[in-house]
Amino acid sequence: MKRKLALLFTILLSLPSWANVDLIKVDKSKRRMYLLDGDQVIKEFRIALGKQPKGHKVKEGDQRTPEGLYVLDHILEESRYYRSVNISYPNAQDRENARRFNVNPGGNIKIHGLKNGETKSANFIQSFDWTDGCIALTNQEMDEFIELIDLGTPIEIYW
């Protein structure tokens, strides 16, 4: 409990009091996620992606992280991974593209921490792409991320 309070206090002191995350940008090519207030980046995270990161997610199982504009729509505290925030993939366009190719677009795309019970270091986990299409942070960063964002925040994912 003391550790969580200390982390929250550190987060709050490290951001300007006026900071309000109104957009999240994910640059897949740089493996970076940026939290923005207007045009100003107020926080940057190093991320891991799906095992096949280049290109837009087309179908379930392609191990790609989708590209496009989505929103963060709910938080899962009970998950196989340390905390998870759901991304609203697939959107109407994704479903239409999947229908056109007669494939399942997949879903269940999250921003999450490490797999529960995982003990590898943050540097190891973030040194390669290992998810099935999600965006991964360290557990500590996941705590910080959840404190900084609101549900309904748009997220733009691009290469």
For residue 67, give both structure tokens: 């590209």
Say how far apart CA 17 and CA 142 lie, in whole Å.
Answer: 21
111 pLDDT higher than 90: yes
Q: What does each C-alpha distance from 157 to 8, 30, 101, 141 come to in angstroms?
A: 27, 12, 22, 19
Q: What does each C-alpha distance from 54 to 50, 101, 129, 132 come to in angstroms?
A: 9, 19, 11, 13
**SS3 (DSSP) at 7:** helix
157 pLDDT higher than 80: yes
3 pLDDT higher than 90: no
Closest CA to 109 of 142, 65, 157: 65
User: pLDDT tens, 15-53?
Assistant: 555 569 999 999 999 999 999 999 999 999 999 999 999
- Residue 98 dihedral angles phi and psi, to the nearest 5°: -65, -40
pLDDT number for residue 19: 66
CB 53 within 8 A of CB 38: no
Say how far apart CA 136 and CA 78 lie, in whole Å.
Answer: 16
Say how far apart CA 92 and CA 11 lie, in whole Å.
Answer: 36
Band (127; pLDDT cuts 50, 70, 90)? confident
User: pLDDT tens, 42-101?
Assistant: 999 999 999 999 999 999 999 999 999 999 999 998 889 999 999 999 999 999 999 999
pLDDT number for residue 120: 72
pLDDT number for residue 61: 95
Domains of the chain (ranges; CATH) run 2-158 (2.40.440.10)
Residues noted as catalytic: 112, 134
Predicted structure pTM score: 0.86
Band (118; pLDDT cuts 50, 70, 90)? confident
